[in-house]
Amino acid sequence: MSSILAFDLGASSGRALLGRLVDGKIEVEELHRFSNDPVQMGNRLHWDILRLYHEIKQGLLKAKHAGIALQSMAIDSWAVDFGFIGKDGELVGNPYHYRDRHTEGAMESLFAQIPPAIIFARTGIQFLPFNTIYQLFALKLANSPLLKEGNRFLMIPDLLRYFLTGQMHNEFSNATTTQLYNPVESKWDTELLKLLEFPKSWFGDVLKPGSHAGMLQPSVCEELGIPSIPVYAVAEHDTGSAVAAVPATEKSFAYLSCGTWSLMGTEVNKPVINDLTQKLNFTNEGGVAGTYRLLKNIMGLWILQECRREWERAGKSYSFPELVQMAAEAEPFAALIDPDDSSFLPPGDMPSRIVQYCRQTGQQAPESAGQFVRCILESLALKYRYVFELTERLSGQRFNGLHMVGGGIQNTLLCQWSANAIGKPVWAGPAEGSAIGNLVVQWISQGQFADIWEARKVIRDSFPITIYEPEEREAWNDAFERFCVITGLTE
């Protein structure tokens, strides 16, 4: 029995999932789950990278204590964030969180040096203020000692792999998100690095998903009392792993990886880099099996999560099922927001920002928790329709429905409203998409599956898929027209 381990790190929690192939089906078991809490230190927001490393070791220990002989392991996480390793091989500083405010104004300052059209033509990546290129540029503007002491640039999974194996590599799917990788030339963009005065020596070899990236080093094995096992570089951007797990039956499909962020798009054989893609701020991120993910970031359930945190701070504690039930009982389409408005990006008092947005757009603002949640979920579903139609336009494809994967599919109201909004079926599942994609890429590398399409077939046979058929078409079409007017979205 092939037993492998996937560490899937999200923006708020992480998990270690054990994967087994039993009678031609995938079985998964959660061995370890842990919180991933950012750390505010002074005016800066950091990731607790050493805590994440500790939790990975705890996952390995739990496998040992359960008597499980592992064949391999791999890690996936969010994109864009990174750390530096110094000349002595040690970590230089704690990685910044992408929501830290040190990047404010950096994107605009960089555009004064390099026009956006040049950056997009060379990278095909959408413009987001927290992209790696702007984080690095912000450090440069601040004359940060990180850039003086740093010898090698490693993204979050790269760092954790280095701690485990002692080997430094960059992985393809995450490298493409930096806006410093040239997908046409299939390498770091040396012209951009030269213009930005970032040393080429920071950036190492780029491993494709499925590459063997090293073995657990002796110090780790001795500490944990375990044998060494291979560590693979899978699609280490968690969205890349989630898309690998989409149980599609057709090569032309649309997906929505739904969680703290919502990422919607399709799989393409080569990047779609043109003026319209740039205008619509779509992105081309690396995927599995030589593919790219033509997609757009949507703010996602972050807005709801922050509302819930704010209500908890005020002494009102609601479970997510309670919030969904209250939303179902609230008046439909009473207020709508653009989830991607910049005011919703930073952490903080999200209900007040929603109220301000509604007042600025001439709407009656929500008052009760149920009204806030309904506003958020309806607005997300309507934004999904907007991006779904743009994805069809850019890719030249027509999709029969939408595959939703990730933890957000546990919100059945959002799944149903997404089907209502796009007017086509939603196929929801699996929930642990990123971890399952992580697992199947390991198995492909080990010869257990011939390719990603065989793996997707096994995923379909192994996990339940819930189908949501569209309802209330006239009401949702009317709401979409109003949504486009309120948000100013005309494309």
Domain limits, the chain: 3-236, 246-429+465-491
pLDDT over 80 (residue 228): yes
132: exposed, middle or buried (Cβ count in 10 Å: 0-12, 13-18, 19+): buried
pLDDT over 70 (residue 66): yes
Q: Are 412 and 327 in contact (CB under 8 A)?
A: no
User: What residue has token string 């701070």?
Assistant: 313
Exactly one of 76, 238, 338, 341 is catalytic; name it.
238
pLDDT over 70 (residue 381): yes
Share of the chain above pLDDT 70, in %: 100
Q: Which CATH architecture has domain 246-429+465-491?
A: 2-Layer Sandwich (3.30)
Q: Is 238 a catalytic residue?
A: yes
Average confidence (pLDDT) over 207-213: 98
pLDDT digits (tens, 9 = 90+) for 101-141: 999 999 999 999 999 999 999 999 999 999 999 999 999 99
Share of the chain above pLDDT 90, in %: 97
Across the chain, which distance is largest between two alpha carbons, in Å? 64
- Write the single-letter amino acid at 83: G
pLDDT over 90 (residue 232): yes
pLDDT digits (tens, 9 = 90+) for 260-289: 999 999 999 999 999 999 999 999 999 999
pLDDT at 2: 82
- Write the single-letter amino acid at 112: A
pLDDT over 60 (residue 298): yes
Q: What is the mean pLDDT of the chain?
A: 97
User: Which CA distances in Å does 473 have to 183, 424, 469, 480?
Assistant: 40, 10, 11, 10
Average confidence (pLDDT) over 299-308: 96
- Identify the helix (H) or strand (E) that includes residue 85: strand 82-86
Which pTM was predicted? 0.94
| 386: phi then psi, degrees, rounded to nearest 5 | -55, -50
Average confidence (pLDDT) over 385-399: 97
- Identify the helix (H) or strand (E) that includes residue 259: none
CATH of domain 3-236: 3.30.420.40
pLDDT at 490: 75
pLDDT digits (tens, 9 = 90+) for 349-375: 999 999 999 999 999 999 999 999 999
Average confidence (pLDDT) over 72-85: 98
Q: Do domains 3-236 and 246-429+465-491 have the same CATH topology?
A: yes
Average confidence (pLDDT) over 295-308: 96
pLDDT at 12: 86
Q: Is residue 116 classed as helix, strand or coil in its secondary structure? A: helix
pLDDT at 491: 54
